[in-house]
Amino acid sequence: MNDWKPRLNLSADLTSLPLGPEEGFLLSRLDGATSVRQLPALTGLTPERVQQLLDRLVTHGAVLPSAAPPPAAVRPEPPASEDVAPAEEEEAPEDTAAAEAAAGNWRQLFERHLHPLPTDERAHRARTAEEPLLSAFCFDPVPAVVHSLLENTRLGLGHARLVARHHPNPVGLEALCARAAFSSDAGVRRWLLRNPQLPASLFRRLWSGRRLLEQHKVVVDRDVPEGTRRTAREVLRARFNTAPAEERVELIFLTEGRVLTSLVGLTLDGRTTALLCGRTYRSPLLLQNLARWSAAPPVLVAHLLKQEAVRRQPQLRLLLRRHPNAPAEARRG
């Protein structure tokens, strides 16, 4: 096996070529960054079979020959069987760049060969499409085509992630998330968050039951569109009022009080206050944020004034003494 990194010939009309299922499957795994040496492990085919299929694809003009200059390194969307990081975790920058470059191949295939077709014909073809057209149909902007695509038995999580990321119509996104297997997938949820067309109603349905810390991460994620972050703040505030006290305390401590800026106007119940008063405070940032939160209960302010970290820092002590809920004796002191 060699180090040649085969890539699609985007000028070829793949729909007119005599390609079988194996060739189509191999085409779906070519990204210009994966070498021939790596393809057997990626596809499950033998090295000899990979080479035979590549020879056919080059002969038919579907793949550029090895002498063609290579593009910038890219990597395809992960297959549906791969493990995906939790939705709240950040993707590495190189992963994002690779996904964008790989998706560009499918987008070009759609724009050149599928988009010119009438909508009804695209919807009809999407129901039975195989690779590489199956991935290309994930870029169709028409919800009716997405509905047809969801009827395709070959559709997997990798395709669902493409739709979640690139589909520009809320109706299509709603249809995608009607499938529990897709809406519960971490990759689908991650890309939905970054899609500016994600409807607020769908966000509420998918995230209202999540833990407070996960909701807060959406609120502060700069990759999430402002409209979705605004909805996330509303969901966080509503969830904070009903969440268990232990979860509220966890949120306040793990964010070092940064979340309190999203909780202005809310109050703490007795159980949450008691748990906060049972903690020792060493973080100056957490103490500062609590001291600036007007809803901090009097008993909590009194507890904070007793902390060693406050006694050592006059500025923190002064902030707490000026708090509207500070004990009268503390203000005089």
Q: Kindly state whether residues 236 and 222 are assigned to the same domain.
A: yes
**Minimal CA–CA distance to 185: which of 87, 89, 76?**
87
108: in domain: no
- What whole-number distance in Å separates Cα of residue 115 and Cα of residue 321? 66
Q: How many CA atoms lie within 13 A of 240 on its CB side?
A: 25
152: in domain: no
* Peptide bond between residue 116 and the one before it cis (omega within 30 degrees of 0): no
Q: Kindly state whether residues 233 and 257 are assigned to the same domain.
A: no
The backbone region for 296, taken as left when phi is positive above 0, alpha when psi lies in -120 to 50, beta otherwise, is: beta
181: in domain: no
What are the CA-CA distances from residue 316 to residues 19, 81, 83, 291 (Å)? 72, 52, 46, 8
29: in domain: no
Beta partners for residue 63, in sequence order: 8
The neighbour count for residue 288, using CB atoms within 10 Å, is 17
| pLDDT for res 123 | 95
When pLDDT is averaged across residues 108-132 and rounded to a whole number, the result is 91
Report residue 204's pLDDT band, with 50, 70 and 90 as the boundaries.
very high
Percent of all residues in the chain with a pLDDT value above 90, rounded to a whole number: 56
- In this predicted structure, which of 22-36, 81-95, 112-126 has the lowest mean pLDDT? 81-95
| pLDDT for res 199 | 95
- In this predicted structure, which of 64-68, 253-257, 265-269, 311-315 has the lowest mean pLDDT? 64-68
Q: Kindly state whether residues 308 and 270 are assigned to the same domain.
A: yes
Q: Kindly state whether residues 268 and 205 are assigned to the same domain.
A: no
How do residues 59-99 score in pLDDT, each as one tens digit? 888 888 765 443 333 333 443 333 333 334 444 443 455 45
Q: Kindly state whether residues 236 and 283 are assigned to the same domain.
A: no
132: in domain: no
**Minimal CA–CA distance to 301: which of 319, 320, 288, 286?**
320
What range defines the domain where residue 293 resides? Answer: 245-332
42 compared with 251, residue with greater pLDDT:
251
Give Cα 221 to chain centroid, integer Å.
11
SS3 8: strand
**Minimal CA–CA distance to 330: which of 312, 252, 310, 275?**
310
| pLDDT for res 141 | 96
6 phi and psi angles, rounded to 5 deg:
-65, 150
Give Cα 141 to chain centroid, integer Å.
20
What is the overall mean pLDDT for the chain? 84
Q: Which of 243, 273, 302 is at the close of a domain? A: 243
Measure the CA angle with vertex 74, ends 147 and 172; round to 5°: 15
Domain count of the fold of the chain: 2
Q: Kindly state whether residues 251 and 237 are assigned to the same domain.
A: no
User: Both ends of the chain: CA-CA distance in Å?
Assistant: 80
Residue 174 has pLDDT above 90, yes or no: yes
| pLDDT for res 76 | 39
Q: Kindly state whether residues 254 and 326 are assigned to the same domain.
A: yes
How do residues 236-256 score in pLDDT, each as one tens digit? 999 999 999 999 999 999 999
- In this predicted structure, which of 129-138, 172-181, 233-242, 247-256 has the lowest mean pLDDT? 129-138
Q: Kindly state whether residues 269 and 292 are assigned to the same domain.
A: yes
The single residue listed with the structure tokens 């009607």 is: 178
- In this predicted structure, which of 30-34, 223-227, 289-293 has the lowest mean pLDDT? 30-34
Q: Kindly state whether residues 256 and 281 are assigned to the same domain.
A: yes
| pLDDT for res 165 | 92
- What whole-number distance in Å separates Cα of residue 203 and Cα of residue 21? 37
Q: How many CA atoms lie within 13 A of 163 on its CB side?
A: 32
pTM passes above 0.75: no
Helix 245-254 to helix 270-277 angle (10° resolution) is 50
Report residue 293's pLDDT band, with 50, 70 and 90 as the boundaries.
very high
- What whole-number distance in Å separates Cα of residue 206 and Cα of residue 188? 11
Is the distance from CB of 253 to CB of 286 less than 8 angstroms?
Answer: yes
Q: Kindly state whether residues 237 and 314 are assigned to the same domain.
A: no
Decide: residue 261, CB within 10 A, 0-12 exposed, 13-18 middle, 19+ buried: middle
When pLDDT is averaged across residues 29-57 and rounded to a whole number, the result is 81
When pLDDT is averaged across residues 226-242 and rounded to a whole number, the result is 95
312: in domain: yes
Sign of torsion over alpha carbons 292, 295, 296, 298: positive
SS3 15: helix
Residue 177 has pLDDT above 80, yes or no: yes
16 compared with 227, residue with greater pLDDT:
227
Report residue 8's pLDDT band, with 50, 70 and 90 as the boundaries.
confident
